Amino acid sequence: LWPGRRWFSETVPDASSTLTSPLYPPVVASITAKSKAAKSRRLQRFNQRVHAAATVEEKLRLYGKLQRPKYTVYPQTFALNADRWYQSFTRTVLVAGMPSRAAAAKPPVAAAGATPEAGRAPEPRAEAPVAAKTPEPAAGSAPCLDLGELRSLACDALLQESFYQKKERPFLYRDQDHTPGPFLTQLVSTLAASLSLLNPLLAASSLDLNPEVNYYWQHGEEVVVHGHRKGRVDPVQFQIDDNPHLQIRVPMQLPEVVPLESDLGDVPVIDHKPSKLPLFKKQYENKVFIGSKVADPCCYGHTQFHLLPDKLKRERFIRDRLEDQIEVVYRSNGIASLFAWTAAQAMYQGFWNEADVTRPFVSQAVVTDGKYFAFFCYQLNTLALSAETIKNNPRKNICWGTDSKPLYDVVEDGNVKGFNDEVLLQLVHFLLNRPKEL
Amino acid sequence: VFPGVRQAQWLTKTKLVEGLPPAVQGIVDNPALGLQELEERAKHVVSHARLWDTAEVAPRREQYCPVLFENLIHICRLMSGKYSSLSKRMLARNFRIAVTWERESILLQVRGLSGILMNSMTPIPPVASKEEILATREHVLETFYPIAPTIDLQEVNVYKELNDTGQCFRDGYPYSHPHTLFFLESANIRTDRFRPEQLRAKMLMFAFGNALAKAKALHGNDPKVLEQPIVVQSIGTDGQLFQFMVFQLNTTDLVSSDGIKNLVWIDSDQKLYERAQCVPEVKKRVVTKPAGIFGFQPDTFKKFLALYLHGTV
């Protein structure tokens, strides 16, 4: 406004320079104020720090840096209807039965009718394409699956642990460590070794005995009830610390069962607080661990084997007139353990709840109490379960599970009576699961 | 006081041969078995056991010794895809042995938890030739005059002479031939662990015990020279050093000190790796020793695998 001022503004201000250098820094919320805007700005800075972390170990360290009281979720639990609660915590859809794999993926089973096939060779050529589909051991293209041999391996393992080897009496309430535990270890190790020819993934696998699997995640929000932070809204944190009896880790990922965005059902919604299950809060280290550290090349999971403890025996449930809860125990164990394992595998690859998975992670589990076996297959489609990220997230995790079936009826005098081939076949198919390239 | 293996030799009437027997050495040197590709896997397995197995910084020996053993056995078992007769093996854990024998009018006994035993359906063929067995007749067992050979042994009143691994396994067990014994020295405190010499003596005693029990089960309790010698192998480790042993029982006539002796081949103190660095060592802001496994010796792993495959290849 003063005429004298024109001396200094003779030069026309450059249009480009005002764009490149703004006169004022950006106006954003403060970092340290006690306001919602400041809280969201702090969260954004934290997310940027985790996104920008150089290595996966650094990311995991930052992800679990802040310790708050969190619910400890136990996969093997006696809580009633725990499988519905666990489904709601992990956003899992439970589908009964196993996913139907393509019949061509199954290796040929050496049927007793091998010789009639060779005898049928002089038949007319028109039937040759059809005959080529059915397994031909005479062709020698792929090694066959000898169910009789595997059955004898399983029976030998069972007989050795329960009958032939003389052991002392089991310790009180430690029946599971006496016979079913060693039997499961023997069975899996011998089956995996004999099937390694058919499945090259098993030949490169790593077998862990009694490993540790941990996962920490946030799901939902709650108001802090008591203490100096009373009234603030905090995310609900969960931690699973699991010890499977046996686990097989592989260097290549299992193929997806259904596409990433598929919707196979609904997740049960529970209106109560998690502490009503009952679940209890504790504050300790937020661990994410699949069984070995990030540097291990076998960083994907194949199959876990869980042994139910004496506290969750079938007889106890029957005695307390809770027969319907027997299957719940198997299901909750399968869902929780597999969610923890697949999610930890995904975190080892650098995904977390702000950076959701771009490919599904698939793992399998067998839950048993020594005689009854239940099979589970889990596909992790999403890790984004925290309150902000779940709003626009249509994906759900999927778990396929079977009911528990007995492998045998009874062991008497060195004979296994009532051996169930279906259970063995399902176990073998689990072990033979491999990516399509192999 | 003095090396335990010499005492064990006198007690079991055994002649010592250094190094592994030629049959096993042949398996180690055989290139057709493809042992080279397994070297990479063996290195991964050692890294897993020593570095990656736990969420803490470094696993302790009680954890990494059994894990290393399990991983090595897993690699060996996966070879059964190639050699189907390998699936005729079964591991027995927490296995108890009880054997007695007389040695120059002293009654001796081996008892106790002998680690992990691997059984097979078929016995191992004898490792030494007939001439070598006959040549042991001239070998004189060294005595330790004036020290009695039963020094440091516990004297116990035995009311029942228990006699065989048939006590541990019932009749009709299909995997009836003891193949290899595994000993893991996994105590954390060094004084709780056996020193290598003592470990070798323990391995010898238990291998002898198992072989003697099998001989008594097959041929009865009379002392005699066996036409078909029984071979039992033994591997002991503390997580880093490995001791390999092949024991051949030629005779159960143990009362006198003359005549045909038993044979044992010992390959001692084989290191699998020099050092396992869990955390990189940094001096004055410069990394002097990066993390990882140093000085990996593939030969030790090849010997482990060769002892495992012995009898089927």
Report the share of chain B in percent with pLDDT over 90: 7
Contacts of B84 in chain A (CB under 8 A): 194
pLDDT digits (tens, 9 = 90+) for A356-413: 999 999 999 999 998 999 999 999 999 999 999 999 899 999 999 999 999 999 888 8
Side chain identity at residue B115, one-letter code: G
Residue pair A196/B82 in contact by the 8 Å Cβ criterion: no
CA angle (B90 as vertex; B86, B96 as ends), nearest 5: 145
Nearest to A389, CA basis, from A349, A414, A348, A354? A354
The confidence score (pLDDT) of residue A104 equals 34
Residue pair B2/B143 in contact by the 8 Å Cβ criterion: no
pLDDT digits (tens, 9 = 90+) for A255-270: 999 999 888 999 999 9
Model confidence band, residue B89 (pLDDT cutoffs 50, 70, 90): confident
The confidence score (pLDDT) of residue A138 equals 37
Chain A residue with minimum CA distance to B45: A206
Residue pair A239/A215 in contact by the 8 Å Cβ criterion: yes
- Judge: A197–B82 Cβ closer than 8 Å, yes or no: yes
Model confidence band, residue B126 (pLDDT cutoffs 50, 70, 90): confident
- Whether residue A113 lies within 8 A of chain B, CB to CB, comes out as no
What is the spatial distance between Cα A302 and Cα A299, in angstroms, rounded to a whole number? 10
> Which of A165, A169, A198, A212 to probe the B interface (max B CBs under 10 A)?
A165
A232 CB neighbour count, 10 Å cutoff: 12
Nearest to A198, CA basis, from B78, B51, B81? B81
Chain B residue with minimum CA distance to A192: B78
Nearest to A216, CA basis, from A353, A94, A104? A353
Looking at per-residue confidence, does B40 or A111 come out higher? B40
DSSP B126: P
Domain coordinates of chain A in residue numbers? 68-100+147-432
Lowest average pLDDT, out of A39-53, B22-36, B257-271, goes to B22-36
What is the spatial distance between Cα A378 and Cα A360, in angstroms, rounded to a whole number? 10
Distance from CA of B53 to the nearest CA of A (A): 5
Chain B residue with minimum CA distance to A181: B93
Strand-pair category, B262-271 with B14-18: parallel
Distance from CA of A164 to the nearest CA of B (A): 5
What is the spatial distance between Cα A194 and Cα A188, in angstroms, rounded to a whole number? 10
Helices (H), chain B: 4-12, 22-29, 37-47, 61-78, 130-135, 196-219, 298-309
Highest mean pLDDT among A167-181, A419-433, B83-97, B136-150: A419-433
Give this complex's ipTM. Answer: 0.86
pLDDT digits (tens, 9 = 90+) for B200-255: 888 888 888 888 888 888 888 788 888 888 888 899 998 889 999 999 888 888 87
What is the spatial distance between Cα B134 and Cα B153, in angstroms, rounded to a whole number? 31
- Judge: A292–B52 Cβ closer than 8 Å, yes or no: yes
Nearest to B15, CA basis, from B128, B109, B98, B102? B128
- Whether residue A293 lies within 8 A of chain B, CB to CB, comes out as yes
- Whether residue A165 lies within 8 A of chain B, CB to CB, comes out as yes
Chain B residue with minimum CA distance to A286: B55
Residues of chain A with pLDDT under 70: 1-19, 101-143
Nearest to B87 among A190, A202, A208 (CB): A190
